[in-house]
Amino acid sequence: RGLGDVYERQEHANDRRVAMSTEHANCAHTAALDAARAGRPDITARLGWALALTALFMIAEVVGGLVANSLALLADAGHMLTDAGALALALGVAVWNARRTHEGDAMLRRREAWAAGINAAVLLVVSSAIISEALGRFRAPEAVETGLMLVVAVLGLAVNIAAALILRPAAE
C-alpha cells in the first residue's frame, strides 16, 4: 500500500466524521441555545456536561493528532474548539438568563453576536492553518499512524454522539 492509499482512507474517514459532526453541531447546539434563551434552568447542567466532554476530547484529539501525525485529527480538534465555543456561549446565556439582570434582550443579542463573531474568527484561523499544513503535506507527504488515527476518530464520533444525546432533551 502506498501513501496515496493511506491519505485516501484518512480523508474518507474524515469526510464521514465531519458530515456527522456538522449535523450534530447544527442541530444540538442550536436547540441548546434556544432552550438557554428561554431560561430553562435544566439546560445548564446538560450544557456543562456537553462542554466538558467536548473540551476534554478536543485535547485528546490534539494529542492523538500530533502522535499519529494526522492532519484530519488536528482539523477535527479545531472543529471541536468551535463546538466548545458554541456550547460555552449557550451555557453563558443559560447562566445569564437564570440571573435575569436589568439588561434586556438587546444586550443578550449583542453578546450572542459578539460570541458568534469570535467563534467564526477562530474557525477561519483554524481553517487557514489546516489549509497551510495540507498544502505543505502535498509537497512533502508524511506517514500517518492510521491505526491510532482511526481509534481516536471513532472515539471522537462517540463523543459527538454522546454530546448530542446529552443535549437532545433541550430540543424537545
| Residue-averaged pLDDT of the chain | 78
Measured in residues, the chain has a length of 172
Q: Is the pTM of this model over 0.85?
A: no
Intra-chain end-to-end CA distance of the chain, in Å: 48
Residues 79-114 pLDDT 10s = 899 889 888 888 887 777 666 655 666 776 777 788
Residue 8 buriedness (CB in 10 A; 0-12 / 13-18 / 19+): exposed
The interaxial angle of helices 146-171 and 43-68, nearest 10 deg, is 170
Alpha helices in the chain (DSSP H): 3-24, 30-37, 43-68, 71-99, 105-139, 146-171
Is pLDDT at 22 greater than 60 in this prediction?
A: no
Query: What is the CB neighbour count within 10 angstroms for residue 27?
Result: 14
Determine the Cα–Cα distance for residues 14 and 8; give it in Å rounded to an integer: 10
Half-sphere exposure of 35 (CA within 13 A, CB side): 22
At position 3, the amino acid (one-letter code) is L
**Where is pLDDT greater, at 161 or 11?**
161
**Where is pLDDT greater, at 36 or 167?**
167
